[in-house]
Every structure is written in structure tokens, then in C-alpha cells.
Structure 1
Amino acid sequence: MLIAFNKPFNVLCQFTDSSQPPRATLAGFGLPPDVYAAGRLDYDSEGLLLLTDDGRLAHRLTDPRHKEDKIYWVQVEGTPGDEQLQALRRGVQLNDGPTLPARVERLDTPTLWERNPPVRFRKTVPDAWLAITLREGRNRQVRRMTAAVGLPTLRLVRVAMGPHNLEGLQPGQWRTLR
């Protein structure tokens, strides 16, 4: 079984949480029993999370050797210059080593659901949207990459993994895939 789930902002990619106070988890969304996340999406990120009950499928979906594209729409603080975009495209140096090259494009502001709480708007600080496609998945990688080039991430939404995408799912909604 493979499920596409639109993970809301500030929800953990697991079914339990031992922190105090407990945070929202996947347990609150009526997902089928015995599925688990194929990969992770940060607590403060949103969008497509694939869940499965098949360990081999989970491995194939998340192992970088299988080169499944992961597409993110990223709202950044600042106005991206050509030099910053080229650095992201070439790959940037992070504490845990250089990243692989990424596909990066400027985006018009996408039509998305409201985030709760919303991203803080500041009149004097511009922001912009980028589409970033990765083939690896390090911890908080997109946020660390944009910060490394001087463009802190304000909002991060994964819209696709390989051939799978959100296709109109609202936050908290899920569907079974073939």
C-alpha cells in the first residue's frame, strides 16, 4: 500500500511523541494501520509525505541511489540574485559536506492553502518563491542550502516525490496511490 498525505505545518512524521507538551503527529489523521513514513518531512515543513506498509518500497522511494526527484516550493527571505541561484544549482558546501547540484527556478507566488500560523509579513523585507528539485535528502537540507546563500527559508512545501504529487490534497488529507 502506498499513500500520499499532505502533511500540515507543525505535525511530526511519526505516530507518537514523547515530548511535553506532546506535538501533533500522524496519529490524528485517520491513516490506515501499519503504515509508516517513507522518508521525512520536517516538523515545520508542509506538503507531500508518502506512507507505506512495504519496507522495500519505502527504501526504493528514499534511497538516493534510485534518484527520485523531490520538488519543493520554497518561500525565501530576500530577492534571489543570479549568483545565489547559480550557487544552489552547482551545489553548496554545508557542515556535512557539499550538496549535489539542484534544479532551481524562480516561481511566481503559488496558490497554496493558508498556513496556520501564517508566515510573518514584513513590509521592508522582500521575499520570493523558488522551485528546488533535489535527488538527495539530508536533514533540513533545503533550509540549510538557502541559508548558505543568504536566503533564509520562510516556508517550505514539498509538492512531489518521483512520479507522486499532491494533486489537490488539502493539509491533513490523504489518498491511496496505485
Structure 2
Amino acid sequence: MALILFNKPYDVLSQFTDRGGAGSARRTLSDFVAVPGVYPAGRLDRDSEGLMLLTDDGRLQARIADPRYKMPKTYLVQVEGEAAEEALAALRRGVRLKDGLTRPAAAERIADPEPWPRDPPIRVRKSVPDSWIRLTISEGRNRQVRRMTAAVGLPTLRLIRWSIGDWTLEGLAPGEWRAVRP
């Protein structure tokens, strides 16, 4: 059984092939991971960065990706605006989105984690401050973290998934991967 931790760079699809049609030249997992028979356990949006787990074990893949198992996922989120306690408290209670109320999240303001440079860099506005939060969720709705931060008045500028369960990005630069024991 294989389990691979991969640090997905910005602007990379979380699949091995690009079904974008003729002339599409978007980067995919196959540009970084040349291990046959592994598949992503869950997704990460093209404009998000960070930890992806790849495995050849269908049961493990389902356990990681299926929201029924409530595997916690922690994100480092750079947001536009000052992350005030009221906004963090709302995230902790659960946020009403168009598809219903989210489960309560762990949310705290953190110092700039000084991640690797992003290419291209985020858009910074001199007149609007930004801040960082650590957000841990146990469900996986489409673009959930971005929708949650927007709902509390803190649009996401940069999103890095730091951990899934006990697995973290520790020691992995963007585009790097390592095999671990499941």
C-alpha cells in the first residue's frame, strides 16, 4: 500500500490528466508525481496550495476523502482585513452558507507563517490590511474555506492546506512529495 504526501503548488490541477480540451496546457499531478497506480484522496482547488494525499488503496482513499469520517483538515489562510475576534467566533460556531450551516471550525489568528513565495504573488492593496488565520474544518464542501471566510467579511487571498489528520506539509517544498507509512 502506498501513501504519498504531496505539496501541491498554486495553479496545479488536483488530478493526473487535464480534460480542458485541445490546446489546454495546465499543470497536473503527473507533472510532479510519477508513481503508477496512485490517486488523490480528496481535492484541492487549482488556486489553493498545500497538502494532498495520494494512495493506491481505495479503502484508505475513501476514509480520507469521505466527510462521514470527519478527518480534520487544517488550513493557513491569508485574508483581506484584520481577523477580529467576532469573525473568528463566527467561524467557531459555524457559518451559514447557501448550502447550509457549516460544522463548527477551530479558528485562530496567527502570525504570518512566512510561507514559500507564490507565483504569481497575491494581489496586495496598500490601503487594506491583511492577516493570517489557522482554520481547521471536518467537512469538505466545494470551496468551503473561501466561502466561510468571505461570509465573515474576510475574503481569502491565499489558501494553504497544512494538514489532513496527522499528516502535515512539514519539510515539503511546493512540488515535492514523499512516501510515508499509512
Residue from 107, 110, 113 that aligns with 2:113 = 110
Distance of 1:50 and 1:31 partners within structure 2: 14
| Partner of residue 163, structure 1 | 166
Superposition deviation, residue 157 in structure 1: 0.1
Aligned residue runs from structure 1 range 36-51, under 5 A: 36-51=39-54
Q: Alignment identity in percent?
A: 62
The answer on whether the counterparts of 2:105 and 2:136 sit within 8 Å (CA) in structure 1 is: yes
Q: How far off is 1:165 after superposition?
A: 0.4
The answer to whether the 8 A contact 2:76-2:159 is kept is yes
Structure 1 gap ranges (5+) = none
- Report what 2:13 is aligned to: 12
Task: Note if 1:55 corresponds to 2:61.
Answer: no
TM-score of the aligned structures, taking structure 2 as reference length: 0.95
1:26-60 Cα offsets, whole Å, 9 max, x none, are 11013301111000001000000000011100011
Separation in 2, partners of 1:57, 1:96: 27
1:173 has 2:170 as partner? no
Determine the C-alpha separation between the residues in 2 that align with 1:81 and 1:166: 27
- Range that drifts further, 95-104 or 19-28: 19-28
For residues 41-88 of structure 1, give each alpha carbon's deviation from its aligned partner in whole angstroms, at most 9, with x where no partner exists. 010000000000111000111222222110000000001222111111
> Any idea what SS the aligned residue of 2:171 has?
coil
- Which residue of the partner structure matches residue 124 of structure 1? 127
Q: 2:149 aligns with which of 128, 146, 149?
A: 146
Relative to 1, partners in 2 of residues 1:85 and 1:30: Cα closer, same or farther, differing over 3 Å?
A: closer
SS in 2 for 1:147: helix
User: SS of the residue aligned with 1:57?
Assistant: helix
Could you tell me the TM-score, scaled by structure 1's length? 0.97
Pairwise CA RMSD? 0.9
Structure 2: segments with no counterpart, 5+ residues = none
Which stretch of the first structure deviates more once superposed, 111-120 or 42-51? 111-120
